Structure 1
Amino acid sequence: MAGLTAAAVVAVSFLAYQASANAPDSVAAVTPKASSSASLHPSAKPKAPKTDPLAIPADSGTGVRVVYALKDRRVWLVNAGEKAGRTFTVMPSTVSPLPGTYAVTSRSGSIQGSDGVLIEHVVRFANVGDVSVGFSAAQDGSMESPNPTTKTGGVRMKRADGNAMWTFATVSAKVVVVP
């Protein structure tokens, strides 16, 4: 019986390792407890860990900052206590900056975006070639995918999130872009 229990512990540990290797950095690996034989029953399936959207990505720097995760299409507004005061999803532009640390260079209250859409609360932080990249909210509240044949730098968000970004990210504020 002890041999079966040991084999089950090894099998579950291996599956947990495999799951954590493919999971985002913010998800902790599930490690079974050897003392709990009831949870290691052969018919028991390991539960997938839940992702905490407030969990700030690893390697995103320190201090007050905006964190933009390209793959997750998510932004975190990180306060001085290293906590995400707000997080939200965004619609990336067709042009994205490389991962790295940037600073807000300029802001515009209300303008027409490079895609022709009226936008507000524009917070620019990077240039990729001749394209200025920044966060913005469409005044009509839309977050449509940009035309893939047009070079645009507007990372779109909902209007309420745009208001929060506008208040949080003033000129010179740190913006960290992670993969």
Structure 2
Amino acid sequence: MTVSSSGIVAALTAAALATVGYLAHQASQTLPAGLGRAHADATPAAGVSKAPPRARKDPAALPGGSGGGARVVYSLRGDRVWLVGGDGTVTRTFEVAPSAVDPAPGSYSVTSRSNAVTGSDGVPVEHVVRFTHVDGVVIGFSAAVDDSPTAPAPKARTGGIRESRADGEAMWTFATIGRRVVVVR
């Protein structure tokens, strides 16, 4: 009996697929309760809903309840900022590294700006846009000059909400003195 090379390849492929299928089946049988695909008649673990999963919200979507008109929107939970034009159109959105001290949700205005300074954590920053203070800590947006993502020191009470240099430049252009800043949860 003569076997062609294509026959050998087909046989090896079939064997490999069968092995992968078998291993996948074995893995699904050893998952802890609550993981993997539930069977139709299975009782969910405590705290697990039998309802189908809801569609996840787009994390970049502008939060509801952030007002109207031209504004900067800052989400405390989402660590995200939106620059919103006068017609309600989002002109830019980006992630930020939160400060150690959070402002309370509410509406503020840009009170001061600095092109380049040293941050309260000792890091040289640029495009600083300040909008409030909490217990003596000034809160504002800034970008590290070296564009490093800096997280606040664990025990330092700093108010710098860090953004990338490109996002900082966009913030600087958009958030002039008096521009509304809306902080949401």
Using structure 2 for the length normalisation, give the TM-score.
0.71
- Map Cα deviations across residues 99-129 of structure 1 (whole Å, 9 max, x no partner): 0000000000000000000000000001101
Q: 2:106 aligns with which of 83, 100, 105?
A: 100
Match of 1:3 in 2: none
1:120 is aligned to 126
Q: Which runs of 5+ in 2 are unaligned?
A: 1-49
- Of 101, 110, 117 in structure 2, the residue corresponding to residue 111 of structure 1 is 117
Of all paired residues, the percent bearing the same amino acid is: 54
Q: Which residue of 1 aligns with 2:174?
A: 168
Measure how far apart 1:50 and its partner are.
5.5
- Aligned counterpart for 1:156 among listed residues 162, 170, 175: 162
Instruction: Map residues 16-95 of structure 1 onto 2, 5 A cutoff.
Output: 16=52, 19-20=53-54, 48-49=55-56, 51=58, 53=60, 55-95=61-101
For residues 132 and 124 of structure 1, the distance between their equivalents in structure 2, rounded to whole angstroms, comes to 7
In the alignment, the residues of structure 2 paired with residue 52 and residue 151 of structure 1 have an alpha-carbon distance, to the nearest angstrom, of 28
Q: Is the 8 A contact 2:59 2:78 kept in 1?
A: no
What is the Cα deviation at residue 49 of structure 1?
3.8
Contact 2:97 2:163 survives alignment (8 Å): yes
C-alpha distance 116-52 of structure 1, shift in aligned 2 (>3 A): closer
Verify: 1:15 aligned to 2:51, yes or no: yes
The higher radius of gyration belongs to: 2
Cα distance, 1:148 vs. partner? 1.5
TM-score (norm 1): 0.73
Whole-Å Cα distance in 2 between the matches of residues 68 and 176 of structure 1? 6
Residue aligning to 2:149: 143
Structure 1 unaligned residues grouped into runs of 5+: 1-13, 21-47
**Cα deviation digits, residues 58-104 of structure 1 (max 9, x gap):** 01011000000000000000011211100000000100100000000
Q: CA deviation at 1:143?
A: 1.4
| Corresponding residue SS for 2:183 | strand
Measure, in 1, the Cα distance between the counterparts of 2:73 and 2:84. 7
Q: Distance in 2 between matches of 1:90 and 1:176?
A: 15
The 4+ residue runs of structure 1 with deviation greater than 6 A are none
Alpha-carbon shift at residue 52 of structure 1 (Å) = 5.6
**1:129 maps to amino acid:** D
Whether the 8 Å CA contact 2:99–2:152 is kept in 1: the answer is yes
SS class of match (1:15): coil
